[in-house]
Chain A
Amino acid sequence: MKLELLLPIGAAIAYFAASVFHHAHLFTGSGKTRRLARAAIIGAVLLHGLGLLDHVVELGRFPFANSSETVSFMAWCIGLLQLMIEFRFSWTAIGSLSMPIAFLGVFTANLLPREGIPADSILRSHWLSPHILAVSLGFASFALAFCFAVVYQVENSLLKRKQLRGIFPQLPPLDTISIAAHWLAAAGFSMLTLGLLSGIIGAESNWKSGWMLDPKVLTSFIAWLIYAAYLITSGIAGWRGRRTTYFLIAGFIAVLIAYFGVNLIAPGRHQF
């Protein structure tokens, strides 16, 4: 089998294994499942990264030319971020959510169209690579911030109901989840802003007019507004904890709609 097929399949299997082991650790808390989860995520990120590198070397360009490539790249960013979080803080519990997202990413990447951008496409621009790079990094940060937000809600409800056994001891401290989510959302917001700006500049030169009404551009802008509201309420109004997590959950849903939903409901000229 060719390497370009073998590496993504290997990565998908490793992400799946990482999802299983992260869940196993969440429910048992055993050291053995933690080690397995760690090994699986390292394997997944490594195989996936090599697959992307192989792609870049073979095609001589960044893997940003179609939905399949960009989704795969986003999934890799999520895997890498999760790995960094685990090495720095040992918060394996977050991986129970982020690893399935990364696995779904790699899985869907194989189903999505792989054709390159047509030569006459309005998407062709020098601004395409920085645009996709920034948007992908933003997407990964938002995905992780979303995972933290969900874990916060779960832990909050366990503490309220005084259910302190089971998964509870494996969850990171409530307060630190809030802080980590804040940093991730702030990083994601910066990336999304850069992504939108580079997209606007590229669109200005290619589309000339009408890009503002493109459904993908509009939904992305809504997502941007949600995260802006989050940063304003937490940064300026000093909001913390549970109430801020609703922004992160809503924001990520908006990002998902902007990226996947719009293409299904109202396909515009912005194919991916």
Chain B
Amino acid sequence: MRITLTGLSHKSAPVELRERLAAGPTDVAERLLALREAAGVEECALLATCNRMEVYALSRAGDEDGGGCQERLFRHLAAQAGVTEARLQPHLYGFEGTPAVRHLFRVASGLDSMVVGESQVLSQVKDALGSAQAAGTARSVLQALFRHAIESGKRVRTDTEIARGAVSVSWAAIQLAQQIFGRHGAKTALIVGAGETGEQTARLLLAQGISSRLLVANRTWERAAALAGELGGEAIRFEKLTEALTRADIVLSSTDAPRPILTCEMLRHAVHARRGRPIFLIDIAVPRDVEPEAAGLNDVFLYNIDDLQAVVAKSLSVRESEVERVEAIVEEEVKRFGVWVRTQGVGPTIAALQRRAESIRESELERMKSRLGHLTADDLSLVEATLRGVVNKLLHRPIIHLREAAASGDGYHEIETVRAIFGLDEPAAGREPKRKNGDSNSKDNGRDPAAAPPLSELATPHYALSPDPAEASR
């Protein structure tokens, strides 16, 4: 059983191919069930965003050839996309074991995103887990894998600056507006030029709780009125801009006028009328809409496209400088997940050991009871407690040893030893409690299926030492 990953992203495939495999929220469950069926895997989850489509799967017990599983996944995806396998092949990537785990953790941390450190991908990873859980295709291993990935994503965002700062001009403007005016929603925004950026920023100002009143000015009155109507604002005639400037706290200008339309004189007048209330001017037009000299006026904060792009560039460079620290955290988290997997491996063996001891204690007590008839109920319970104490004390060291070995990566060997010493794989009719699946002729070669966990195979060195193509590509 191995964790495998097959997928494509903005780094490997063009949008024409990505959109063929895009999954809407409604058909994810259906696709997950079809995937599990077609690829013959134990568990699967689908991480689908506009930049990537990745299938995480856990191959079935005995399916040691992870490549076979990937092969089936690949064929299924080609059929689904309606393209030939040869067309899809060069754009797909596939990892197994640790590299697959690492890839998901890097994705959740925003390291694989188009804009490094972006946060949306983390909620998309959460959604992927939610959908797979709802469809019943993610059980213990993939659930744990995704939970660890989400933890890892959260950790890098709090412990490093990978997600700090604005990475688009609109966001840089919004963050500055927030830093000047807070989020009281009482500020008036004036949009000069009803273009796409103006509209987008206006929507953000409203959504972020910075502005509640919106003024829209545009050369063509109809366009201003239309946008104002759409956003619940007020349309302003171009001739009334000076008056509007005294009302507006945030001004976003993005017209294609060849000369400045907000002159120093207009702003001087506005500043006087505003009596010291600060005014934040965002001039993203080229050529500029606001006379640059206006920056010298008191209580005027004038930021042009270059200033905002400098903010963006700074944020991006800060993020880039954090990549190394994030990679280190991802590595730690991958190791932690490895430990979890290995610890899971010893769990059923410990349970089997405890069950065996308990059954011996019970049967011995039963046998003794006929000879201990003269004891009072109190004395009998004392004997029972003593026996339980002895059993627990005897088992304490082996259990601790197993857990420690599991955490250090040697769990698999120790499982074999403990199972052999205590005869946990021997049929023990009459001595052990009745097993749920106690068919000794099962394909597990006589192992108690409950005691021989499917996960234990994940704990093999095979899992930990699998080749790491990600390492080579980085």
Contact = CB atoms under 8 A, between A and B. Distances in A.
A168 B276 CA distance: 21
A173 B314 contact: no
Contact of A174 (B158, B181, B275, B311): B181
A237 B181 contact: no
A162 B310 CA distance: 10
Given A162-B307, A165-B314, A176 B182 contact: yes
B179 interface: yes
Given A165-B314, A175-B180, A244-B276, A31 B158 contact: yes
5 contacts: A162-B310, A174-B181, A175-B278, A238-B275, A240-B276
B180 A159 contact: yes
A169 interface: yes
A160 B298 CA distance: 9
Contacts of A175: 180-182, 184, 187, 278
A241 B158 contact: no
Interface in A237-253: 237-244
Contacts of A237: 275
A252 B353 CA distance: 76
Contacts of A229: none
A160 B301 CA distance: 6
Contacts of B337: none
Contacts, number: 58
A164 to B, nearest CB: 6
A156 B298 CA distance: 10
B303 interface: yes
A242 B299 contact: yes
B178 interface: yes
Contacts of B184: 175-176
Contact of B276 (A31, A176, A239): A239
Nearest to B277: A240
B180 A243 contact: no
Of A31, A164, A169, A244, most buried by chain B (CB within 10 Å of CB) is: A164
Contacts of B299: 241-243
Interface of A: 31, 156, 159-160, 162, 164-165, 168-169, 171-176, 237-244
Given A160-B301, A164-B314, A173-B180, 5 more contacts: A174-B179, A174-B181, A241-B276, A241-B278, A242-B276
Interface in B176-210: 176, 178-184, 187
A48 to B, nearest CB: 31
Contacts of B278: 156, 174-175, 240-242
A164 B298 contact: no
Contact of A241 (B176, B179, B277): B277
Interface residues of B, number: 24
Given A31-B158, A162-B303, A165-B314, A173 B179 contact: yes
Contacts of B276: 239-244
B307 A242 contact: no
Contacts of B275: 237-240, 243
B178 A164 contact: no
Of B184, B277, B295, most buried by chain A (CB within 10 Å of CB) is: B277
Interface in B48-96: none
A109 to B, nearest CB: 36
A-B pairs, top 5 by smallest CB distance, nearest first, are A173-B182, A241-B276, A240-B277, A243-B276, A240-B276
Contacts of B158: 31
Nearest to A162: B307
Contacts of A168: 179
Of B187, B275, B298, most buried by chain A (CB within 10 Å of CB) is: B275
A173 B178 contact: yes
A172 B314 CA distance: 21
Contacts of A169: 179
Nearest to A174: B180
Contacts of B182: 172-173, 175-176
A92 B311 CA distance: 24
A173 B310 CA distance: 21
B51 to A, nearest CB: 28
Contacts of B307: 162
A230 B81 CA distance: 70
Contacts of B176: 164
B278 to A, nearest CB: 5
Interface in B122-172: 158
Nearest to A241: B276
A37 B338 CA distance: 37
A165 B175 CA distance: 13
Contact of B301 (A31, A159, A171): A159
A158 B115 CA distance: 28
Interface string B251-287: 0000000000000000000000011111000000000
A77 to B, nearest CB: 26
Of B182, B295, B298, B310, most buried by chain A (CB within 10 Å of CB) is: B182
A175 B187 CA distance: 10
Contacts of B179: 159, 168-169, 171, 173-174
Nearest to B307: A162
Interface in B306-338: 307, 310-311, 314
